[in-house]
Structure 1
Amino acid sequence: MTEDEMRKRLAALRTEHRDLDIAISALSDTGGPDQLQVARLKKRKLLLKDQIAVFEDYLTPDIIA
């Protein structure tokens, strides 16, 4: 995977993470019986956060001071 492809994938992951945040907020505000769905979305959001961290770590050069 090239660096450009990794940057595109990172942008897509960030967008999906943001969209999940909005969906979780909307479901939580309704307070309905969809708590299982909210839990699943939160779990997916955490997985995305981990993937984002991996890409960011790879794309950010280590600076030795």
Structure 2
Amino acid sequence: MLRRRRFKQIRTLNERLEDEVKRLRDEARGLPPGRRREMLLRKARQDEMAMQIDAWLHSPGLRAPT
């Protein structure tokens, strides 16, 4: 049976997403307008949305569905 290789994340999800957004935007800034640039910006927006969803899920006002 194959065993999964597991490792403990040192940085939080939010920290990793912030770094990824910054890296993607920096890379997109250096490219001319086109498909590759739009894909990088789209991924950056998706990561920002993931950060917002994570913040919402960890907010103190969130209650379990009834």
Q: Which residue of 1 aligns with 2:47?
A: 48
Question: Corresponding residue for 2:23?
Answer: 19
- Greater RCO (Cα-Cα under 8 Å, separation 6 or more): 1
**Consecutive unaligned residues in structure 2, runs of 5 or more:** 1-8, 62-66
Runs of 4+ in 1 over 3 A off after TM superposition: none
TM-score, with normalisation over the residues of structure 2? 0.66
Q: By how many angstroms is 1:55 displaced? A: 1.1
Structure whose residues are more often helix by fraction:
1
RMSD: 1.9
1:60 Cα offset (Å): 3.4
Q: Which residue of the partner structure matches residue 4 of structure 2? A: none
12-21 or 52-61, which deviates more:
52-61
Unmatched runs of 5 consecutive residues or more in structure 1: none
Report the Cα distance in structure 2 between the residues aligned to 1:18 and 1:59, rounded to whole angstroms: 23
